[in-house]
Amino acid sequence: MDLAAAPPALLTRRHLHVAGDWVDPSSGDTIPVENPATGSIVGEVPAGTPADVARAVAAARAAFPGWAATAPEQRAAHLDRLHTALAARADEIARTVATELGTPLKLATRVQAGLPLTVLRSIVDLAARPAAEYTVGNSLVVREPVGVVGAITPWNYPLHQVVAKVAPALAAGCTVVLKPSELTPLTAYLLFDAITDAGLPPGVVNLVPGTGPVVGEALAAHPDVDLVSFTGSTATGRRIAHLAAERIARVSLELGGKSANVILADADVPTAVKVGVGNALLNSGQTCTAWTRMLVHRDRYAEALDLVAAVVAGYRLGDPFDPATRLGPLASAAQARRVRDHVDRALADGARLVAGGPDAPLPPQGHFVAPTVFADVHPDSALAQEEVFGPVLAVIPFADTDEAVAVANNSRYGLAGAVWSADSDAALAVARRMRTGQVDVNGGAFNPLAPFGGYKQSGLGRELGAYGVEEFTELKAIQR
Ligand code: NAD
């Protein structure tokens, strides 16, 4: 079935998921869901209220003692059933993300549906292990679930960002209330269809869709939420941290980035450029870890710029359901406008346009922005400092390794990055000097067991793997 062509009724959801049931919302207000490739409305979901949040938090609180006391292997068995139920929906998930976010279907299948399944599988395996206990002097140190988790997620990877919170929280023995992004709520509903099929105990995971200022703030401020786990913009993360600080609740924040891809003089430049451009443009550049600053040694700069322009020219914009499409639209009109403003500002700041730009041809409808590359970008300029969250790459030359490291670290963010060199020890040495939570050396592959998160204003805490499960625990020392 092609969901882009499906009648809107098929994509309309009318309930919240609370205490194991699909329940009526407290208000009749709804939020429309748009297909950003066409601008047409494809469905709607309830606009949750603080009363809905209170009901869902109460359900999660009631379910907490039972779930926390459930044996790890039983929790793992629940998550395993959830994996099976979700895998059965992989095609529907990919099509829904392609429809409500605009990710090209091929990429949506591999990343938007495939990645969360990989992450969930890794957490199933971790969940089966009891939390490690150890002895220090006369103390027995144990880990316990932190309690009720409020999870607030963005639109760019609408299932992955949810699974990266919900699965480790459940594995740790916590219960959850989820507020997905209002731009991409339909994908979250598919997770709850799978949760229903998997027969998770009532109240262990609850869903309240709605806007950030209403449902998100009510969840972050709720006195019975023990930890707020948030992924999204740094500005919203700051607001959530303030709300949680009022009651000294814990927060886990996965925020923005401005990651550097450092290409040393002896690197395999064609590979570094091809992979680097692919990373920067992934999901139309709406990826928090995107390597949006390409730093190239002056000896290879001209060669790299020619290659960048050639690689970008191969990206075709268009209908996410067309197999030839490499780049879909931006998620919303507002996002496309923000990205275009960044492009205009970079031009005004004197950056040299190498590809794309405001006059590049675009599909006739939808929130498209052409993949755009600027060269000679000043490391202090707005384009090098601000997260664009669109298909815009800044290329910056450097003279030596010390300058490369200084420019890479000249950012208020510190989420990800990359280094390329024929000398893997030299690349590793640069990776160690970069102030970021992740660095890929010579195209090192994504590892779902590795800690994921940021330094500086890219966030607090870590997701994924054993580190992600620990994030949802408290430490207790018992003296004997
Ligand atoms: P956003 O901050 O606008 O929204 C994220 C979520 O927060 C949404 O569910 C939204 O409804 C909610 N929200 C908005 N205002 C709120 C408020 N006042 N109180 C509580 N909740 C509120 O971000 P976005 O536009 O959805 O996502 C894009 C941003 O997310 C980018 O900056 C990107 O870098 C970041 N991001 C970071 C990571 C990461 O892992 N570090 C991953 C993906 C996205």
**pLDDT by residue (tens digit) across 110-169?**
999 999 999 999 999 999 998 889 999 999 999 999 999 999 999 999 999 999 999 999
**Averaged confidence pLDDT in the chain:** 96
Segment 41-68 mean pLDDT = 98
pLDDT band at 6 (very low <50, low <70, confident <90, very high): very low
Segment 83-98 mean pLDDT = 97
Does 402 score more than 60 pLDDT?
Answer: yes
Residue to mutate, 153, 253, 288, 389, ligand 1, most ligand atoms under 8 Å from C-beta: 288
Please say whether the beta carbons of 200 and 67 come within 8 A.
no
Segment 318-323 mean pLDDT = 96
pLDDT at 131: 85
How far apart are alpha carbons 227 and 221 in whole angstroms?
10
The bridge status of strand 293-297 relative to strand 440-441 is unpaired
Q: Tokens 């009532």 map to which residue?
A: 202
The bridge status of strand 372-375 relative to strand 392-398 is parallel
| CA-closest residue to ligand 1 atom 34 | 256
pLDDT at 4: 43
Which one of the listed residues 217, 254, 387, 463 is annotated catalytic? 254
pLDDT at 10: 59
Does 5 score more than 70 pLDDT?
Answer: no
| CA-closest residue to ligand 1 atom 13 | 212
Segment 23-49 mean pLDDT = 97
How far apart are alpha carbons 377 and 386 in whole angstroms?
13
- Pocket around ligand 1 at a 6 A CB cut-off: 152-156, 161, 179, 181-182, 211-213, 216-217, 220, 231-233, 236, 239-240, 254-257, 288, 387, 389, 415, 454, 458-459
**Residue 92 is a catalytic residue:** no
Residue to mutate, 152, 214, 238, ligand 1, most ligand atoms under 8 Å from C-beta: 152
pLDDT band at 50 (very low <50, low <70, confident <90, very high): very high
* CA 425 to ligand 1 centroid distance, Å: 37
Segment 373-401 mean pLDDT = 98
Does 1 score more than 60 pLDDT?
Answer: no
pLDDT at 352: 97
Does 3 score more than 70 pLDDT?
Answer: no
How far apart are alpha carbons 104 and 278 in whole angstroms?
14
| Closest-lying ligand 1 atom to the alpha carbon of residue 180 | 9
User: What digits encode the pLDDT tens for the residues 410-449?
Assistant: 999 999 999 999 999 999 999 999 999 999 999 999 999 9
Does 7 score more than 50 pLDDT?
Answer: no
How many CB atoms neighbour CB 241 within 10 A?
A: 16
Does 331 score more than 80 pLDDT?
Answer: yes
Q: Say which residues have a Cβ less than 8 Å from residue 469's Cβ, sequence separation at least 6.
A: 123, 126, 127, 168, 171, 172
How far apart are alpha carbons 61 and 473 in whole angstroms?
16
Segment 369-391 mean pLDDT = 98
